[in-house]
Amino acid sequence: MSTSLAPHLTAFLREHLPSVRRASPHTCESYAYAFRLLLEFASQRLKVPPCAIALEQLDAPLLLDFLSHIETGRKNSASSRNARLAAIKSFFRFVQYRVPSALAQVQRILAIPFKRTVRREVAYLQREEMQAIVDAADLNSRTGIRDRSEPKAARASQIVSTASAACNITAPMLPNSITKGNTVSP
């Protein structure tokens, strides 16, 4: 007997992610897009429409082929592949409580490893380099004013109140700003 994928996927995307997990709208959209890609791939591979795909048909070999397709066929990076795999694993962690008969399948899927990716090295600026960047902005032009106030996540009052004394003197040098509620954020 096969288990319909549709009600579980709908519950996962519409109820579980936004309400139970309190995932951001961006995460919900990213997960939905991952499943759109997966359903397109599975539909072509299995030669059935997406609404006819059964949960049991999404097995580890099919998912590994899908992840390979993402990297080779779609020319995505390992990071994109890992993002799609994270969505799939999250869904199957959800499914394991709803469909106990699929536990062995879920275990095999959850065992699929993420690919190692190269982490970009974070370069830190010395105090003189930070000051040179701040001083380079031409305050007589709109773009200079914009460039001077580039930290978009901070409020204007936070930028104004950030003094050079708020910067760490030891590496890594990061400015601290006092946020609303007097919390210090690096």
Residue 120 covered by a domain:
no
Residue 10 covered by a domain:
yes
Rounded CA-CA distance 163/181 in Å is 18
pLDDT tens readout for residues 124-145: 777 787 777 777 777 788 777 7
Residue written as token pair 């709908």: 10
Residue 117 covered by a domain:
no
Using pLDDT thresholds of 50, 70 and 90, give the confidence band for residue 153: very low
Rounded CA-CA distance 63/5 in Å is 15
Q: Indicate whether 86 and 135 sit together in one domain.
A: no
In which domain, by residue range, is 143 found?
127-185
| Predicted pLDDT at 116 | 87
| Predicted pLDDT at 99 | 92
Most confidently predicted of 39-53, 139-153, 161-175: 39-53
pLDDT tens readout for residues 93-132: 999 999 999 999 999 999 999 988 877 765 677 778 777 7
* Three-class HEC string of 13-81: HHHHHHHHCCCCHHHHHHHHHHHHHHHHHHHHHHCCCHHHCEHHHCCHHHHHHHHHHHHHCCCCCHHHH
**Domain count within the chain:** 2
| Predicted pLDDT at 139 | 78
CB of 42 within 8 A of CB of 66?
Answer: yes
